Structure 1
Amino acid sequence: MPDQIADLADLRGDCAQCFGLCCAALPFAASADFAIDKPAGRPCPNLRDDHRCGIHARLREEGFTGCTVYDCFGAGQKVSRLTFGGQDWRSGSREQADRMFEVFPVVRQLHELLWYVTDALRLEAARPVHAGLRLALERTELLTRGTPEELAGLDVAAHRQEVNALLLRASELARAGAAGGRRGKGGKGGKGGRHDVRDRRGADLIGARLRGADLRGASLRGAYLIAADLTGADLREADMIGADLRDADLSDADLTGAFFLTQPQVDAARGNTATRLPVSVSRPARWAARG
């Protein structure tokens, strides 16, 4: 296997090749993201017989914003076409449908890891751990091709922990060479002063006023940036893994070289045509409408 997965399209959802697994296997609760409650294993009432969404063009208007920011990282089509050989969960037994619904979240986690490892292999500064990352890439890809029984019995948490150790080291190496990124202005709620933003893992920055903040080379792993004002912020070479960017304002922000940033994170945020993004993600069409 090469150092990187050549086509990241393989790690993006292709609904046309999937049997609507995210709409059936996953649960969601009535909230700002979903208009109704739906338990795991029960098809969404908006899912048509052809496995396409009946309200796809108006999901936000109908109260299903959560659906617009979800991506299975290509797990849906793999489970549908490879793991179960193209057999529809509607046409098989209930037992098989349940197994398919059980396996889908497992493969989704593995594909997310493939995305992160692939991204880490692009980091030149992380070359000391590239050999380990390549092995992790190969092993993870191999796991995704297991049988339904193998996937159902897989200890995903243990595998994620092993891979995460490599991702952490890659992040440290990549951020070590980033200029600046050590100090920033403001904090949660706009409380003044200056604070160290280099390591903000898991930080509560909900609604934080970080307009124009120098966050270059910062670790924002798992940080809560919901509705944060990051207008014009410098997020170059920042570690964005697991950062919650729901409704965060990235207008005019620079995320050039930011790593472990996924499409669902970007889709959940706000931005404009001046927002600079890594090549691995696409600018949401609705950002252009904001100007």
Structure 2
Amino acid sequence: MHAPSGDLSDLRADCGNCFALCCVALPFARSADFAIDKHAGSPCRNLQDDFRCGVHSELRPRGFAGCTVYDCLGAGQKVSQITFGGRDWRSGDREHARRMFDVFPVVRQLHELLWYLTEALTLPAARPVHADLRHMLEETERLTFRTPEELGELDVGAHRREVNVLLLRTSELVRAGTGRRTKDRRGADLIGARLKGADLRGASLRGAYLIAADLTGADLRDADLIGADLRDADLTDADLTGALFLTQPQIDAARGSVGTRLPASVTRPAHWTAYL
């Protein structure tokens, strides 16, 4: 089980121990992020026999930027090596492959919840709900070790709703500590919004659409960013210190600079240098 130490190492992708599930199980539509249409369960045309991407070093220039920001949060290796015992989708019949492809997105959602719960348990302000968070963390991890049949029948949406009650309470407790009346922009349409230098300390931006928003120099300290869409958002010189529930895929999808201040749980993307 995950201890409330803030250690998220088990929730990071290990592609070497995965059977390229993200390249096969998931559907993609031709867009600015993906150069081709691909149906769920159909291998990407760039996938090689050894489960490696044939154009991995050229994904962005070839039109597959979306692949560079996707992160299974460790679900791929768990499904490949634990749930299915190291038996890849090519070695079995169609039913074996179908079950693997159905289970992968379920475990990926559970791992995302593990990420949030692990982070919540490191927050001193959330101490009043630490016991409930710890219980939910343990229950969520138990679910990830269920059999393929059990995972296929799991109502992951219902479990997400249970977890979200605790995450919302965690957010309220942390943001209340800012000592200021915070903005509630949950689910707000802020696509392309001009928020340069905006004071968004402690704001709730849960599920907000911040696609291509100008957040240059914005103050996002202690803001709740769970589920916020940051694709192509400009975070140049923005301060996201202490931002709540921020994941690596969100940061990878945004633009930033050496002056962007990030929480310790995420790393500065290498491709950000292209925007300097």
State the TM-score, normalized to the length of structure 2. 0.98
Q: Distance in 1 between matches of 2:252 and 2:54?
A: 21
Aligned partner of 2:49 in structure 1 is 49
Contact map agreement 2:6 2:122 (CA 8 A) in 1 = no
Cα 1:252/1:180, change in 2 over 3 Å: farther
Query: Are residues 1:209 and 2:194 paired?
Result: yes
Q: Distance in 1 between matches of 2:43 and 2:55?
A: 14
Contact map agreement 2:2 2:137 (CA 8 A) in 1 = no
Aligned partner of 1:24 in structure 2 is 24
From 215, 223, 226, the equivalent of 1:230 is 215
Cα 1:110/1:216, change in 2 over 3 Å: same
- 2:24 is paired with a residue whose SS is helix
Q: Which amino acid aligns with 1:211?
A: K
Aligned partner of 1:7 in structure 2 is 7
Contact map agreement 1:213 1:233 (CA 8 A) in 2 = yes
Contact map agreement 2:220 2:241 (CA 8 A) in 1 = yes
Aligned partner of 2:79 in structure 1 is 79
Cα displacement string for residues 148-171 of structure 1 (whole angstroms, at most 9, x for unaligned residues): 001001000000000000000000
Return 5+ residue gaps in structure 2 as ranges: none
Q: Distance in 2 between matches of 1:114 and 1:172?
A: 19
Aligned partner of 2:249 in structure 1 is 264
Aligned partner of 1:218 in structure 2 is 203
Report how far residue 145 of structure 1 moved.
0.2
Q: Distance in 1 between matches of 2:8 and 2:63?
A: 30
Cα displacement string for residues 36-70 of structure 1 (whole angstroms, at most 9, x for unaligned residues): 10000011010111111111111111111111110
Report how far residue 123 of structure 1 moved.
1.2
Q: Which amino acid aligns with 2:162?
A: E
Cα 1:282/1:43, change in 2 over 3 Å: same
4+ residue runs over 4 A deviation: none
- 1:254 is paired with a residue whose SS is coil
Contact map agreement 2:236 2:259 (CA 8 A) in 1 = yes
Contact map agreement 1:121 1:130 (CA 8 A) in 2 = yes
Aligned partner of 2:40 in structure 1 is 40
Return 5+ residue gaps in structure 1 as ranges: 183-197
Report how far residue 128 of structure 1 moved.
0.5
Aligned length: 276
State the TM-score, normalized to the length of structure 1. 0.93
Aligned partner of 1:188 in structure 2 is none
From 267, 270, 276, the equivalent of 1:282 is 267
Report how far residue 83 of structure 1 moved.
0.3
Report how far residue 178 of structure 1 moved.
1.3
**Please, what is the CA RMSD of the aligned residues?**
1.1
Query: Are residues 1:94 and 2:94 paired?
Result: yes
**% identity of equivalent residues:** 75
